[in-house]
């Protein structure tokens, strides 16, 4: 697996260089293999990343996919963060807070381009890309913060909110990584539609890098502000009328139209098919197999299953509070999320008696069991010529 990883990252690096041009300095990757921890940090000309050791063990497809994505993400930062920065970050004053509204660009756009590079280089297959997209879409749909918080606001408040989450974070806040990436997906679609496939977000980043990196001769041009991104976008072929689009999706909440973006790329975006089950020659009522849903996020702490937050449209919001321990469902003990799902299966449209503890006091309640929402997701990986222009390798162009 290590040999495969080396082969894949060489191709990813070549794809990055085809877009931005090669770097003059040598680059080092320090990879820590852990029991389960995951994260990465970019440095000038290097990265330090940690992933579960299963990432380099045969058979762990999702872990390996994530490893490749993490490497590519941190490598994009050589251009988009280390050399292209918010203007406010050119000279750090470590004695005070310095906020930026642009983390949706410096992390969200990095995530978008990082994963596209995995696909362009062949390190990811189309199946890899869309499996990961489905995961991201599920996160997007099960959090309601996107209707409450705009990307610029989420970025500005990262200093105090991102790393100090609270019980209602999922309902009131967004991740500028995730929502920023999905917004760049939508922006890429709009830009490619108007430019007939000539330009995308990667070209926008290259334009910004060329004009505003920390080494440009004109010091006044170093670093970017929001208006620099907007101006660069509207200067591209196809981007002339996209300034207001950028304003809408970054400065206001709830304006991201993913359905339109998928449609532009010729990708199906719809709820997955309802289960169709048969038993012998007799059709079985599908509700008997449907997944019941309480609309809560839970986490196992020791042998206790704690409510950590509510999902959008949760049917038990008035009964279960964040911090409650769910003890049993219909007299069946539950200690993890899978057990909870199992006890709710086939109970859609009925009720369940839930025993729970709150502040060490036992309670019970008869709760309505809803049908697990069938959120829209991407259901095809073919796409049209605009999608193919997005994922096309540029190594031939740079040869």
Q: Taking the domains of the chain in order of start, what are their residue ranges?
A: 2-270+380-398, 282-371
DSSP-based helix, strand, coil % in the chain, nearest 5? 45, 20, 40
Helix (H) or strand (E) holding 138: helix 126-142
**Cα gap 20→17, rounded to integer Å:** 5
**Cα gap 99→35, rounded to integer Å:** 34
Q: What is the mean pLDDT of residues 28-47?
A: 93
Q: What is the mean pLDDT of residues 8-28?
A: 95
- Give pLDDT, residue 399: 59
- Give pLDDT, residue 398: 65
Same fold, 2-270+380-398 and 282-371: no
| Nearest to 332, CA basis, from 350, 316, 355 | 355
Of 146 and 84, which is predicted with more confidence? Answer: 84
Assessment of whether the complete model's pTM goes beyond 0.85: yes
| Nearest to 79, CA basis, from 34, 15, 7 | 15
- Give pLDDT, residue 278: 40
319-345 per-position pLDDT tens digit = 999 999 999 999 999 999 999 999 999
- Give pLDDT, residue 164: 66
- Give pLDDT, residue 396: 78
CATH, domain 282-371, list 1.10.1740.10, 3.30.565.10, 2.30.42.10, 3.50.50.60: 2.30.42.10
- Structure tokens of 116? 């596209």
**Contacts of residue 280, Cβ cutoff 8 Å, sequence gap at least 6:** none
- Structure tokens of 9? 């990252």
Average pLDDT of the chain? 91
> Does the structure show a pLDDT above 50 at 391?
yes
Look at 173-177, 300-304, 310-314 and tell me which has the smallest mean pLDDT. 310-314
- Give pLDDT, residue 276: 45
Look at 3-12, 59-68, 310-319 and tell me which has the smallest mean pLDDT. 310-319
3-13 per-position pLDDT tens digit = 999 999 999 99
340-370 per-position pLDDT tens digit = 999 999 898 899 999 999 999 999 999 999 9
**Cα gap 391→375, rounded to integer Å:** 26
Q: What is the mean pLDDT of residues 254-271?
A: 95
The third-level CATH classification (topology) of the domain covering 2-270+380-398 is Neutral Protease; domain 2 (1.10.390)
- Structure tokens of 126? 């189309």
| Nearest to 152, CA basis, from 81, 242, 252, 223 | 252
**204 CB-contact burial (10 Å; exposed 0-12 / middle 13-18 / buried 19+):** buried
């Amino acid at each position: 697996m290590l040999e495969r990883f080396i082969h894949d990252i060489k191709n990813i690096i070549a794809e990055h260089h085809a877009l931005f041009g090669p770097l003059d300095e040598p680059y080092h990757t320090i990879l820590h293999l852990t029991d389960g921890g995951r994260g990465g940090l970019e440095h000038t000309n290097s990265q330090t990343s940690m992933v579960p050791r299963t990432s380099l063990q045969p058979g762990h497809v999702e872990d390996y996919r994530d490893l490749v994505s993490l490497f590519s993400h941190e490598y994009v930062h050589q251009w988009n963060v280390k050399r292209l920065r918010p203007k406010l970050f050119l000279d750090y004053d470590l004695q005070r807070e310095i906020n930026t509204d642009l983390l949706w660009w410096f992390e969200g756009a990095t995530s978008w381009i990082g994963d596209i590079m995995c696909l362009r280089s062949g390190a990811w297959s189309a199946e890899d890309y869309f499996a990961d997209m489905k995961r991201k879409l599920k996160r997007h749909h099960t959090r309601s913060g996107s209707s409450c918080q705009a990307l610029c606001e989420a970025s500005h408040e990262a200093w105090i909110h991102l790393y100090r989450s609270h019980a209602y974070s999922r309902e009131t806040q967004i991740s500028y990584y995730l929502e920023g990436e999905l917004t760049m997906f939508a922006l890429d679609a709009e830009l490619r539609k108007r430019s007939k496939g000539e330009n995308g977000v990667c070209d926008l980043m290259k334009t910004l890098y060329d004009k505003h990196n920390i080494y440009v001769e004109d010091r006044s041009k170093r670093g970017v502000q929001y208006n620099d991104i907007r101006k660069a976008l509207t200067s591209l072929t196809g981007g002339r009328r996209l300034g207001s689009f950028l304003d809408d999706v970054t400065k206001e909440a709830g304006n991201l139209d993913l359905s339109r973006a998928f449609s532009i790329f010729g990708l199906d975006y719809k709820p997955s098919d309802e289960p169709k089950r048969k038993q012998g020659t007799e059709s079985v009522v599908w509700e008997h197999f449907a997944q019941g849903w309480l609309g809560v996020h839970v986490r196992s702490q020791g042998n206790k299953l704690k409510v950590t937050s509510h999902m959008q449209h949760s049917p038990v919001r008035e009964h279960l509070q964040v911090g409650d321990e769910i003890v049993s469902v219909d007299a069946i003990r539950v200690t993890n999320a899978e057990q909870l799902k199992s006890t709710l299966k086939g109970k859609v449209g009925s009720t369940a008696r839930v025993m729970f503890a709150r502040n060490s006091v036992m309670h019970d309640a008869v709760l309505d069991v809803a049908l697990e929402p069938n959120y829209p997701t991407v259901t095809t990986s073919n796409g049209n010529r605009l999608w193919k222009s997005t994922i096309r390798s540029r190594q031939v162009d740079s040869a």
